[in-house]
Amino acid sequence: MQMTDKHHSVIEATGRGSVTAQPDIALLRLGVATRANEPSQATDENAKIVAKVIAAIKQAGIPESAIQTAGLSLQPVYEWDEANRRNVLLGYRAENNVTVRTPVERAGKVYDAGIKAGANEAGGIVFTIADDTKYRRAALAEATRLAVEEIETVAQALKVTLIGPVQAQVISEGGPRPFEAAIRKAEIDTPILPGQLEIVELVRVTFEIGRP
């Protein structure tokens, strides 16, 4: 809270509005890592498995537009030879990771399909909301109300008259805070529990006051 006296006397306060909501989108990261003696062998084998993983994801009801390559790499694999004090080349490791955007209710099925098709790396799961507009507006309304209430409380304590608002500034925290959870390979259908997301907005309000 701040009270200033520049061109006119004002009281300023910042309100924080918070709304919780059920996520409806899950972002899965699945990957395939392969190793071989030659670079081409590692990448060729990797490509074959990744194609199977993507086909399985599509079979689970996910369109290709919701599948995105998230990372490609090919690295030599070395082992330290203590006797000769040098690195010995053992082969090459190829990796290909994809991010899948899926409705929450399909996330477990999609994850299991990818694992069964050959994915051997999983980078966790992030929950978010496809359209957070109504939640952001509710948080903005709460933040504004709380800021005004603080200003009114201070004005009453100081016995000054509020003339009216002269400025309001939205200090956005970026919409819903994505929630990330670990996932692992399972022999049965993987349960996906999205929990709740918190949408937070900050609003700074300034009121002009009359001099006592």
Rounded to an integer, the average pLDDT of 30-52 is 97
| H-assigned helices in 28-132 | 39-59, 107-117
**pTM of the model as a whole:** 0.71
Rounded to an integer, the average pLDDT of 113-136 is 91
Q: Which residues contact 122 (CB under 8 A, 6 or more apart)?
A: 28, 29, 30, 31, 111, 115, 183, 184, 185
Arithmetic mean of pLDDT over the chain: 88
pLDDT tens per residue across span 144-154 = 999 999 999 99
Q: Pick the residue with more confidence: 92 or 181? A: 92
Alpha carbons 104 and 101: distance in angstroms, whole number: 9
Res 183: pLDDT: 45
pLDDT tens per residue across span 151-204 = 999 999 999 999 999 999 998 665 555 544 444 444 445 666 777 888 999 999
Res 185: pLDDT: 44
> Of all helices (H) and strands (E), which one includes residue 138?
helix 133-158
Res 181: pLDDT: 46
